[in-house]
């Protein structure tokens, strides 16, 4: 699952630690999401969507597996 987290974060001039603070998660978690090591939980995806003012579907792109 691809995402636009790095783009959205850097556009706001935030560090990974800045974003982590606002999400109440660790910096390592933000890094893991940006580098695609795993997907966020649904509650964390909601937090991200609220924070960036976008829909979950506009931040995360599901690869359609046939």
Residues engaged in binding its own copies (CB under 8 A): 1, 39-43, 45-46, 49-50, 55-57, 60, 62
Q: What sign has the CA pseudo-torsion 29, 25, 34, 63?
A: positive
- The residues of the shown chain that bind DNA, judged by CB under 7 A, are 10, 15-17, 24-29, 31-35, 37-44
We find the least distance from the C-beta atom of residue 60 to its own copies, in angstroms, to be 7
Three-state DSSP at 2 gives strand
Of the two residues 45 and 54, which places its CB atom closer to DNA in the complex? 45
**C-beta of 44: minimal distance to DNA in Å?**
4
CA distances from 31 to 9, 25, 41, 45, 65 (A): 11, 11, 15, 15, 25
């Amino acid at each position: 699952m691809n995402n636009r987290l790095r783009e959205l974060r850097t556009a706001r001039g935030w560090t990974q630690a800045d974003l982590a603070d606002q999400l109440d998660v660790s910096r390592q978690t933000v890094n893991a999401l940006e580098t695609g090591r795993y997907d966020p939980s649904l509650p964390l995806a909601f937090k991200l969507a609220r924070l960036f003012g976008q829909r979950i579907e506009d931040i995360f792109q599901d690869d359609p597996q046939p």
